[in-house]
Amino acid sequence: MSNPENRQDTIIMVDDDVTNLTVATNNLIEKYNFFTAPSGAKLFSIMRKVAPDLILLDIEMPEMDGYEVIKLLKGEEKTASIPIIFLTGKIDPASEVKGLDLGAVDYITKPFSNELLIKRIDMHLLLEKQKKELLRYSQNLETEVDRKTRAVFELQNAILKAVAELVERRDSTTGGHIERTQHYLRLLVNFLQEHGVYSDELSAWDIDLLIMSSQLHDVGKISVRDDILMKPGKLTDEEFDEMKKHTMFGAEIIRSIEDNTKESDFLRYAETLAVSHHEKWNGTGYPYGLKGTEIPLMGRLMAIVDVYDALTNDRPYKKAFSHEASIGIIKDGFGTHFDPIIEDVFLAYETEFKRTASDISPRAPERKKRIGREFPPVLDMVSNIIDTRSGAASGQSGRMRRYMEILIGAIRKHDRFREEMAAWNIDLLLMSAQLHDVGKITIEDQILYKKEKLTEEEFESVKAHTDTGVKVIRQIMGDVDNENMLYHAEITARSHHEKWDGSGYPLGLKGEQIPLQGRIMAIVDVYDALTKNRPHRAMMPHKQALDIIAGCAGTHFDPVIVDVFIECEKELERIRCV
């Protein structure tokens, strides 16, 4: 069987001059699969059996001239892409322009040099091959983009149905519980890692997936009747038995989500948390009555942060306890309710949990009111997928949101921006800004995690994430009732890599042509990139990152926003260190 890579290219030459055809045949027959046609009609007859890679076409022919032939070729989808080189005895710019307008790729004046003819043919054959390769690459990339995008949206829709409509609304008495326990759980895991506690097991986990999946730990509460879930008094034994079923029901829901999505690694963590966070160290918990280290470590971690949050917030059957009273109750559960090793670490840092509680609690009612019946859980899930996909940038979306919150709060006070920002819904901006890098889900692993400098071709692939991000966000818009929620997301996704001096991408916008949202996100994005580890370099100290940003005022960044950013640097550093 012949190797397609080694096959000769097929050329057809159309000319009513037999001498020209004979000379060309003698010179080209050994190098190409060469055919001749004395007229346009004969060309079309040959093309019923032969598919040429290139056509050499004389202009001046009787009955049907070259212009008529090329019009017919370009008018058919099957032949429109075949490169055509015109052959002419005229030196006439107007004739050349007409031929090029009709779709010719080149002109060769007769009589032609054989060497020149071969070089022109080879050049256009090479260009055509490169064009086809680029088309194949583009089609493959589009397929990969669609595959990864579909996977994200399978997960998005599953989470939307199973969580957004059920958990936060279903148990309205515990507003903010999911957000607070996520923060507490991350703190606790960080402290355990610092002290080398359970280090072997923790090192095998994807911590960001764990934190993300903890949002589903109470999903089973949708199975509990309203009269039990919201009962203001103590539950009867029968009612408590019904309440306890939420752990098993939660695991069932999560398994059903897993069945409907391919991107389900984080759901394995979620299932463990849901089913085990009410087990107790002494074996008196539920649903299985596990004891000691029989309880999965994830469940033992979730148990203590879950109880702390329940104690320090109002419930239908009690008022919130103070932090100090709650710590006293947790101490009473030492060695009975909680893993004593984990509890020791928790108590050693109890003031940090108190500080975190005060940071989050004032925002909880406002957040509850803000989200109403919208769909921020989807944004949270998708942004966490982005973080996970980005590897070294894990946790980025949450940090970026907090940086943006601080910077926007300061910028709103500035006369230059006050009028424009007055029309913004800041809450929607902060929520949707988590998706600014959603296009990174389509970047290949070998580029995304490459430690060496990217090639120009690789960097072009990275740059495409801005346009891909817009495409993904527009797809999400089609799945929600309120498209305004993602108005800012599309702007920040497209414009956060534009530069003040016009040297950015994808549009090369300059100065105030760049949307204000993009100019704000650009500084926050670079600060986060500089102060966190990346595959190609280690993190920089806060002060060094600030110096770099200050040095880029007026080139990379809006100089006025840089000044405001530097004024906020102490608050920004506190977030970076969490």
Q: Which domain holds residue 418?
A: 374-577
Beta-carbon contacts of residue 30 (< 8 Å; ≥ 6 apart): none
C-alpha span between 405 and 385 (Å, rounded)? 22
* Domain-embedded: residue 160: no
C-alpha span between 492 and 436 (Å, rounded)? 6
Reported pTM: 0.42
Q: Residue 98 maps to which CATH number? A: 3.40.50.2300
The neighbour count for residue 389, using CB atoms within 10 Å, is 20
Domains: count for the chain = 3
Q: N- to C-terminal Cα distance for the chain?
A: 64
Is the CB of residue 286 less than 8 Å from the CB of residue 249? no
pLDDT of residue 374: 38
Local structure of 46: helix, strand or coil: helix
Same domain membership, residue 400 and residue 317: no
Exposed, middle or buried, 397 (CB in 10 Å: 0-12/13-18/19+)? Answer: buried
pLDDT of residue 278: 95
Same domain membership, residue 321 and residue 218: yes
C-alpha span between 565 and 547 (Å, rounded)? 12
* Domain-embedded: residue 141: no
Same domain membership, residue 332 and residue 287: yes
Same domain membership, residue 384 and residue 362: no
Same domain membership, residue 50 and residue 78: yes
Same domain membership, residue 175 and residue 43: no
Domain boundary among 324, 351, 369: 369
* Domain-embedded: residue 145: no
Write out the chain's pLDDT in tens, 578 residues.
334 445 689 999 999 988 889 988 998 998 999 999 999 999 999 999 999 999 999 988 988 999 999 999 999 988 998 999 998 877 777 878 888 889 898 888 888 788 888 888 999 988 888 888 877 777 676 666 666 555 544 444 444 443 433 454 445 444 567 778 888 999 999 999 999 999 999 999 988 778 877 878 887 776 676 677 778 888 899 989 988 988 998 888 777 666 655 556 667 888 999 999 999 999 999 999 999 999 999 999 999 999 999 899 887 778 889 999 999 999 988 889 999 999 999 999 999 888 877 766 544 444 333 333 334 445 555 555 455 445 444 556 677 888 888 999 899 888 888 888 888 888 878 877 777 887 776 676 577 778 888 899 889 988 988 988 887 777 666 545 455 667 888 899 999 999 999 999 999 999 999 999 999 999 999 998 898 877 767 888 989 999 999 999 999 999 999 999 999 988 888 876 65
* Domain-embedded: residue 279: yes
Same domain membership, residue 172 and residue 96: no
The alpha carbon dihedral of 513, 514, 516, 517 has a sign of positive
Domain boundary among 308, 339, 369: 369
The alpha carbon of 395 is separated from its chain's Cα centroid by a whole number of angstroms, namely 13
33-55 core/surface letters (b: 16 or more CB in 10 A; e: else): ebbbbbbbeebbeebeeeebbbb
* Domain-embedded: residue 105: yes
Is the CB of residue 310 less than 8 Å from the CB of residue 278? no
Same domain membership, residue 173 and residue 109: no
Q: Could you tell me the two tokens for 510?
A: 């300059």
Same domain membership, residue 528 and residue 388: yes
Same domain membership, residue 413 and residue 359: no
* Domain-embedded: residue 156: no
* Domain-embedded: residue 473: yes
Furthest-apart CA atoms within the chain: distance in Å:
107
* Domain-embedded: residue 152: no
Same domain membership, residue 342 and residue 226: yes
Same domain membership, residue 335 and residue 288: yes
Domain boundary among 369, 394, 423: 369
C-alpha span between 391 and 389 (Å, rounded)? 6
pLDDT of residue 166: 42
C-alpha span between 84 and 55 (Å, rounded)? 5
Q: Residue 476 maps to which CATH number? A: 1.10.3210.10
pLDDT of residue 94: 81
